[in-house]
């Protein structure tokens, strides 16, 4: 093979490795958003896969069960904001406490915006 071909292969390999590493990092930081519907308003919260597993599941039902059993739950509230480049993002704004008796329903929440992980 020619030196030029070696360079192209190495460059392609480097790009593939970088892309794979970014994909793993994005999956590790994947946030699951849920809308908590209360008597007063709706709140969007974000939980990581590890936090959901600690609650005993991976869906809105697990969040609702944990809230009902424990009576309260602490989570990060998420709202839409503009990023540094002007793009819209779903970002954590405050760590909040939820009380079971004021929460009526828990639903999965989908957003078209990039979701930033919380601390």
Side-chain half-sphere of 43: how many Cα atoms within 13 Å?
A: 22
| C-alpha to C-alpha distance for 45 and 47, rounded to whole angstroms | 7
C-beta of residue 60 within 8 angstroms of C-beta of residue 107: yes
pLDDT tens column, 33-54: 999 998 889 999 999 999 999 9
Higher local confidence (pLDDT), 1 or 64: 64
Give the pair of three-digit tokens for residue 114.
């990039």
Residue ranges per structural domain of the chain? 30-115
DSSP state of 83: -
Describe the strand order of the beta sheet including 103-108 as a list of residue ranges. 103-108, 31-38, 42-48, 72-82, 88-99, 114-115
The mean predicted confidence, pLDDT, of the chain is 81
Instruction: Tell me the C-alpha to C-alpha distance, in Å, between residue 9 and each of 2, 15, 19, 21, 22.
Output: 11, 10, 15, 18, 20
Question: What is the SS3 assignment for 112?
Answer: coil
Question: What is the SS3 assignment for 14?
Answer: helix
Is residue 12 very low, low, confident or very high in pLDDT (cuts 50, 70, 90)? very low
């Amino acid at each position: 093979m020619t030196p030029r071909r070696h360079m192209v292969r190495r460059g392609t390999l480097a790009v593939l490795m970088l892309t794979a590493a970014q994909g793993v990092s994005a999956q590790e930081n994947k946030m699951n958003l849920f809308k908590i519907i209360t008597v007063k308003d709706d709140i969007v919260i974000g939980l990581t896969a590890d936090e959901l597993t600690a609650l005993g599941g991976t869906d809105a039902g697990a969040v609702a069960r944990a809230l009902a059993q424990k009576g309260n739950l602490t989570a990060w509230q998420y709202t839409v904001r503009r990023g540094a480049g002007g793009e819209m993002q779903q970002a954590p704004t405050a760590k909040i406490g939820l009380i079971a008796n004021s929460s009526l329903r828990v639903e999965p929440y989908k957003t078209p915006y990039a979701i930033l992980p919380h601390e």
